[in-house]
Structure 1
Amino acid sequence: MRKPQLVRTDGLPDRVTIYEVGPRDGLQNESAIVDVAVKAEFIRRLADAGLTTIETTSFVHPKWVPQLADAAELLAELDLPDVVRAPVLVPNERGLDRALAANVREIAIFASATETFAAKNLNSTLDEQFAMFTPTIQRAMAEGLTVRGYVSMCYGDPWEGAVPSRQVVEVGARLIDLGCHELSLGDTIGVATPGQVTALIGAFTAAGVGVDKLAVHFHDTYGQALANTLTALREGVTTVDSSAGGLGGCPYAGSATGNLATEDLLWQLDGLGIRTGVDLEKLVATSVWMAEKLGKPSPSRVVQALAG
C-alpha cells in the first residue's frame, strides 16, 4: 500500500493521540440501525489497527438517538485490551447510572457554546446547562471516572452566526473548573479557518487553560479540517478527534461532509513523521469493511485513493 513521503517539519509535536469517534459520533448519524455485532467488530478492528482511544457509544435516551439504543449490549460484547481507552458519551445523571452499571471508566459530557444550540440540543439556556452537568461530573469523579468535556459550536452557529471566542472560553473554563480533564473544541458546522483556530487556542491559554487541556474536533464541511488540525498542532495541541472512514454527517449543513476522516488525518501525520501508533493499511481495510456493511462508499479521500 502506498504511503506518504516522510518529511519532518519543525514546530510540531512528536506524538499525537487520535481520539476515534466513529463508533459513536459517526454511527449515530447513520439513518440505518447497525447491528450490535457489527459495531463490536468495528471497534475491535479499530483497536487492532492501533487506535488506543475509541469512543464506543452514548448513553443518551434511545428516543433521541435510536442508533445507539444498544449501548449496554454493545459494551457487554467488548473485551478490549487494557491499553485501549473506551469512553462513552453521557448526557446526564440517568446516563451516568447506565454507564456505571456497564463498568465504564471514562465518560464525556456535551456542552454548547451558544444559547440557541443549548436550547435546541439540551433544552436549556447557556447558563442552565451547567446545572445538568455539575452533579453528573461530580458523581462520576467520586466514582473514580475521568470526564471529558465537549464544547460544540465553537467557531460558528447555524442560527447565531459567528461565535465570540470569549463565550467559548467561558463555557470551557467552567467545565475545567467542574473537573473535566480535557476539552474537545468542536467546529460543529465546519466553518472554521486557521486564523480562528489560532485565536481561540490563544484565548484559552490567556484565560489560564493550558493547551495540554485542549483537543480539537473539526468537521470538513468546507474542506478546512486538515488545515485547521495542522494549525492546532502548531499551537501545541496533541489530541485530535476524528472518525474512521469519515463516518458521520453534519446535521446542520445538509448533505455536507461531517467528521474529519481518521485516514486523512493519519496520512498527514505519517507524512510529517508524527507518531500515533496507528497502522494506516489496517485502518483503511477496516473502513472499507464498514462501508460495505453500511452499503455506501467511504467519504474519506485517503480510503478512496488507497482502496480504489
Structure 2
Amino acid sequence: MIRRWPLWLALATALLAGPGRAAPLEPCPAEQGCRVEGGHYRLILPDPTSSKAPIAALMFFHGWQGSAEEIAADPGLRALATRLGIALIAPDGAGRTWSYPGSPGRHRDEFAFVGRVLDDVAARFAVDPRRIMASGFSQGGSMVWYLACRMPERFRAFAPVAGAFWEPLPPACAGPRPAMVHTHGTADATVPLAGRALRGGYRQGDVFRSLAILDPQARAVTVADLATGPDALACLPLSADGMAPLELCLHPGGHVVDPAWIERAWRLTMPESEPCADHLSVKR
C-alpha cells in the first residue's frame, strides 16, 4: 500500500502557514527521533510563544513502506499543524509497517508501543494528553482503526483515511465508542472499500463491516447513500443525536490523502478546550 500524495502538497506550507509565522520546533532529532522502548517517534511543536497552555496534537501514522521521518517532513501535514497551532507526532513503524491484528507485520506489540509514545510525549512536552487525535493513511489508517477499537480512551478522536480493520475482523471493540471520521475513495483499488485478498492469505477488511463492529448502533449505509461529485467529498453522519460524532466521508478518487480532510475531521471532533466528565457526548 504505497502512499500517493496529491501533487499540490509541496505548495501547502506557503499557502496554509501564511506570512510571519514562526518556524516550528523539532525537539526530536531527525536522525534518531525521540526513543522509547520498541522504537522512536518524531515530534514537531508550534511556536512556543503562541500559547502558554498545553497544546493539542495530531498523531499521524504513515502508510506501508513509509516512516516517521517522511511524515515529519511532509509539507502538507506540517502546514496543517501550524494552521491549527498543534503538535504533530509521527510514530515510526517497525520494518516500515504496522503489526496490528491481521497484518503481515509481526515486529512488536503496537498497542504497547503507542502507549509508551503517548506517555513519553506527556512527560516531556507541553502536550495535553486529553486532546490528541489519531490519524493515518492506508496501512496507517488501519492502525488508527485498531487504536479506536482497543485504546479509545487514549485519544480524543480518530480520523483514518483509506484503511480499516483486516480479516479476521475483531468481534467487538472496547467502549465507549470514540469520535471518528473515516475518509475513503470510491475508486480506491489499493485498499478498496470492500477490502481485498492479498498474497500470503492476508485480507483487507470491509469498511462498512468495520463501522458496524466499531458501533453496532451506527446507521447502516452503502456507497449509494453518499452522492459524490467529480471533486466533492460527501460525508454522512452515522451516530445518533447526543453521541460522539461518527461519520463516513467518500470522495470519487483513488488511494490518496488530502490534509484538508484531516482538518475537517479535527474541526468536527476536537473542541477548543476540554469539557467536563461527559466529554464523549457531543450534541449535533
More strand by share: 2
| Bucket of the pairwise TM-score, normalised by the shorter protein | 0.3 to 0.5
TM-score of the superposition, structure 2-length normalised?
A: 0.38
TM-score of the superposition, structure 1-length normalised?
A: 0.36
